[in-house]
Amino acid sequence: MRLPRLRITRSILRRWLVPGIGLKRWLLVVFIGELLLAIAGALLLRQIYRDYDFSGPSQGFLFVATLQFLPYWVRGAIVGGGGVGLFAYGSWRAIRVLMAPFLTPDSDQPLVEVIYQKRFLSRGPKIVVVGGGTGLSTLLRGIKEHTSNITAVVTVADDGGSSGRLREELGIPAVGDIRNCIVALADSEPLMGQLLQYRFPGDGEASLGGHTVGNLLLAAMAAVQGDDFEEAVRQMNRVLAVRGQVVPATGTPVTLHARLLSGTVVTGQSEIAKSLQIDRVWITPEDVVAGDDARRAIEEADLVVIGPGSLYTSIMPSLLLPDLMSALRHTAAIKLYVCNVATQKGETQGYDLADHLTAIERHAGSGWIDVVLANNRFNARRPGGYVAQAVKLRWPPATSAPDSVTPRLVLEDVVDPENRHHHDPALLAAAVMHVYERESVGHRRSRVAKSA
C-alpha cells in the first residue's frame, strides 16, 4: 500500500506545478516577501550579536537558546529547515481554508483537482457539441476533463417514453436527452446520475410510473419559469452545478417525419429509429426558431462537434433548424463530424462512413464540415446478440456539388475495448482535442488570409 500512496502523492504534487493553476507566481511573491523579512531579521540579529555579550556568567540560558555552542552554518541550517517546514504547513492550511467553500463534505477529490478544474479548465477552448442520445452524453463525459467551456446543443424531437408522455401532457419539448447531458456534465456525476436517472416503477398507468426524476424536475422548472423552456434549462444548469451548459436546440416542441425509399411516410422519432432505407427527414412546424443560447454558442465557438449519435433521429433534427444551420455555416469555428462506430438496426443499417456524411450533406448541404473523425479499431469485443456492424471506412463520399471540398478524414482508436459498438469517452475526447490542436493553427492562418 505504501508504493501506490507514494505515487498518488507525487501525482498530486506534479499537478500543483501544472501551468495554469495560478499558484506558482504567488508562491514566488510570498517567498520574496519572506526573504526580505528574513534579510531584515538577519541584519537586526547581526547588530545584536555584535553588541551583546552572550558569554557572561548570567547569560547561560541565552547562550543555549541562541545555539551559541554550534557553528554558524549549523545554526543556519536548523533555523532554515524550521522556516521551510512552517512556511509549507502554513501555506497548505491557508489554502485549505480559502478553498473550503468549494469542497463538499463527501468530496473524494484532492484540493489540487478542485483548483485545476476551476482555473485550468476554464481557460480551455470553447467547444459546442450538437446532437443527442447516448453518443452525445459519452462525448461530454470525456470532453469535460479538457475544458469547462462546453455547450451541448441537444435535440428535442424525442417522442417516446417519459419524454413523450410529458411532451403530450404538458406541451413542453422533449427533456430526456437534455437530462442525460446534464448528468454527463455534472461535477458530482455518479450521485447526480443516480438521482436524475431514477425511474419510478410502473409502465405509465400510475401518475409517476415510468417517469424519471430528472424529466420531472425539468418539467417542473419549466412551469416555475412560466413555460419558458429555455430559461428552465438555464436554471437547471445553475442549480445542478453543470460544468459548461446544456441548451435545447429550440424551445419549441418539434415532430420528426421521414420518407422511406418506398415512398412511405413515417412520423415520430421512435418510429423512424426502427425504419429501414430512409430517404429524407424533416421537422414540423417548419418555421421553428433555434434557441438563442444555441446560436450564440455556435457563433462564439472555437470548435463545433457534430455527433456522435443516431444519424437521423439525434443529429438531423438540430441541423434541420434553418437559423441554427446558418450559424453553423457562418461561424469561424472548426466544424468536426464524429461518425458513429457502429450502424444502428433500422435507420443506418448497412451504412458505411461515406453514407453517413452523404446523408448529412443531402439534408444540410455540403462544404461546411472541415474534418471527419472515424474509428479505425475493429478488434474490440463485440457484445453478444447485437446485429449491427462496425462502420466500414469507405472514403471519400460521392457529393452532389462538384465544387465542394471533401472534409479531411482523421482515423483514431476511439472505440470502447469492451464494446465495439460504443465510443470510449476518454479516447473520443482525446481524439477530438488532437483534431482541434492540429486544425486550429491552419484554421487561424486561413482566417487571417481571408480577412487580409
In a domain, 131, yes or no: yes
What is the distance between the alpha carbons of residues 136 and 179, in angstroms, rounded to a whole number?
Answer: 12
The pLDDT value recorded for residue 1 is: 43
Phi and psi at 117, nearest 5°, equal -65, -40
pLDDT tens-place string over residues 166-218: 888 888 888 889 999 998 998 765 777 788 888 888 765 557 777 888 889 89
- Of 168, 121, 132, 172, which Cα lies nearest the Cα of 15? 121
* Amino acid at position 16, single letter: W
142: domain CATH number?
3.40.50.10680
pLDDT at 396: 82
**How far apart, in whole angstroms, are the C-alpha atoms of residue 143 and residue 304?**
12
Dihedrals φ, ψ of 352, to 5°? -110, -175
Q: Among 281, 269, 263, 309, which Cα is nearest to 131's?
A: 309
Q: Mean pLDDT across the chain, nearest whole number?
A: 82
Give the β-pairing of 334-338 and 371-375. Answer: parallel
- Which pLDDT does position 358 carry in this prediction? 94
Phi and psi at 419, nearest 5°, equal -155, 100
My answer on whether 320 and 434 are in the same domain is yes
Q: Are 35 and 149 in the same domain?
A: no
Question: Domain check: are 272 and 395 in the same one?
Answer: yes
Instruction: Kindly state whether residue 184 falls inside one of the protein's structural domains.
Output: no
Residue 306 and residue 379 in one domain? yes
Sequence-separated (6 or more) residues with CB below 8 Å from residue 30? 91
Indicate whether 364 and 442 sit together in one domain: yes
Residue 373, pLDDT score: 97
- Taken as a whole, the chain contains a residue count of 452
At 392, list the grid cell.
466500414
Task: Examine the domain organization and report whether 261 and 371 are in the same domain.
Answer: yes
Q: Say what the pLDDT of residue 20 is.
A: 58
pTM for this predicted structure: 0.77
The pLDDT of residue 413 is 95
Cα separation, 448 vs 327, in Å, equals 20
Looking at the structure, tell me whether residues 51 and 132 fall in a common domain. no
Note the maximum CA span of the chain. Answer: 114
DSSP state of 241: T
Among 88, 110, 145, the domain boundary falls at 88
Peptide bond between residue 402 and the one before it cis (omega within 30 degrees of 0): no
Same domain for 277 and 386? yes
Query: In this structure, are 38 and 139 located in the same domain?
Result: no
Asked if 277 and 347 sit in the same domain, the reply is yes
Instruction: Report the relative pairing of strands 150-154 and 127-131 from DSSP bridges.
Output: parallel
Per-residue burial over 124-152, b = 16 or more CB atoms within 10 Å of its CB, e = otherwise: bbbbbbbbbbbbbbbbbbbbbbbbbbbbb
Q: What is the pLDDT of residue 420?
A: 83
> Looking at residue 388, what is its pLDDT?
75
DSSP 381-433: PPPTT----BPP---SPP-S-TTPPPPEEEEE--EETTEEEEE-HHHHHHHHH
Q: Render pLDDT for 402-432 as a digit per residue (tens, 0 to 9).
A: 556 789 999 999 999 888 889 999 999 999 9
The set of cell numbers assigned to 52 is 551583546
Residues 395 and 269 in one domain: yes
| Cα separation of the two ends of the chain | 61
Domain count, the chain: 2
φ, ψ dihedrals at 316, nearest 5°? -60, -40
Whether 309 is in a domain gets the answer yes
- Is 311 within a domain? yes
Which of residues 41, 72, 88 is at a domain's end? 88
Residue type, 134: T
Q: Is residue 57 part of a domain?
A: yes
Domain-embedded: residue 203: no
The confidence score (pLDDT) of residue 448 equals 45
Domain-embedded: residue 236: no
* Domain that residue 25 falls in: 13-88
The verdict on residue 1 lying in a domain is: no
The tens-digit pLDDT sequence of the chain (452 residues) is 444 555 555 565 565 666 655 666 777 787 788 788 878 877 777 766 666 666 655 556 666 766 667 777 777 788 778 888 887 888 777 776 666 665 555 555 566 666 666 677 888 899 999 998 889 999 999 999 899 999 999 999 988 777 888 888 888 888 889 999 998 998 765 777 788 888 888 765 557 777 888 889 898 998 898 878 999 999 998 888 788 999 999 999 999 999 999 999 999 998 998 888 999 999 999 889 999 999 999 999 999 999 899 999 999 999 999 999 999 999 999 999 999 999 988 889 999 999 999 999 999 999 999 999 999 998 878 777 666 788 999 988 776 555 567 899 999 999 998 888 899 999 999 999 999 999 987 665 455 455 44
294 and 402 part of one domain: yes
